[in-house]
Amino acid sequence: MRLKIRILLVSLAAVMQISCPVFADSVSSSFTASGTPGNYELNFTFNNNMDELLNQSIYWVGVDLQHDSALAAPFCWHDNGDWNLKVDFPAQYGLYWPGSGTDYKSTWLTVSSYYAIAPYGSLEGFGVPFKGSSLPQAANFFAFSVGQRPAGAELPEDAVFCDNYTLGFEGIATSTPEPVSAFLFGIGGFILVLTRRKKQVFLSKQKITKREYLC
């Protein structure tokens, strides 16, 4: 009985580890997938892990995956076109982008501070239709935040861009199993181990002596 409980706890711990990632970066992203090969929908979530003392809310994000039809977006966010920040940032704003020259094919923007992603907040629903035959395991992303930072506030070390009000970041979004899939995966592992345990117990009983039975 104790072994069964131990196996169940280990399985559930594995599920929790898969479903509840720990964020170390100022901005992080992950995505889940639904659909079938050739007709996937990737759902990205962006997390603002910055301290609220920095007063920075994320208002512009993008990933480097090509979308094959209209992007899905959270309420009050909209498709902001293709961006290569190395080229387009100086052209549009006259500012140098010190980060990568990645072509971000799917980007979203909100012009409402109310719907920006506040510190310690997260937002899902950034959908990318994907026609590939196999799912990507990761995608490059960028994110921009804006806000009036307190004087002397220490800036995040992973910020790629910084001016008086804005911070820019780049990172890698990772694929995350759906919570239900992760749970089923954990339970499936528990059942498999339990079945093997029962088989071993059954076989061992065939060899057990009368004296061992009484113990």
Whether the pLDDT of residue 60 is over 90: the answer is: yes
Q: Residue 54, by phi and psi: left (phi above 0), alpha (psi -120 to 50) or beta?
A: alpha
Predicted TM-score (pTM) of this structure: 0.74
Would the pLDDT of 30 be above 60? Answer: yes
Evaluate the CA torsion angle 187, 189, 195, 200 in order and state its sign.
Answer: negative
pLDDT value, residue 2: 47
What are the tens digits of pLDDT across the range 166-213?
999 999 999 987 554 444 444 444 444 444 554 454 434 444 333 333
**What's the pLDDT at 77?**
98
HSE-CB for 28 with a 13 A CA cutoff: 15
Q: What spatial distance separates the first Cα and last Cα of the chain, rounded to whole Å?
A: 17
- Return the closest-CA partner of residue 119 out of 58, 61, 45, 48: 48
Q: Please, what is the Cα angle at 155 between 152 and 158, to 5 degrees?
A: 170
Judged on CB neighbours under 10 Å (0-12, 13-18, 19+), 60 is buried
Q: In whole angstroms, how large is the CA radius of gyration of the chain?
A: 24
Strand-pair category, 138-146 with 166-175: antiparallel
CB-based contact 186:152 (threshold 8 Å): no
Instruction: List pLDDT tens digits, range 79-104.
Output: 999 999 999 999 999 999 999 999 99
- Closest by CA to 105, choosing from 130, 78, 82, is 82
Q: What angle do CA 19, 131, 180 make, to 5 degrees?
A: 20
Domains and CATH numbers, the chain: 1-21+178-215 (no CATH), 23-175 (2.60.40)
pLDDT of residue 178: 57
Judge contact between 37 and 30, C-beta under 8 A.
Answer: no
Strand extents, DSSP E, the chain: 27-36, 39-48, 57-63, 78-79, 83-84, 103-104, 106-109, 122-130, 138-146, 161-162, 166-175
Query: Which of 100, 84, 96, 65 lies closest to 163 in space, CA to CA?
Result: 96
Write out pLDDT tens, residues 64-84: 998 888 899 999 999 999 999
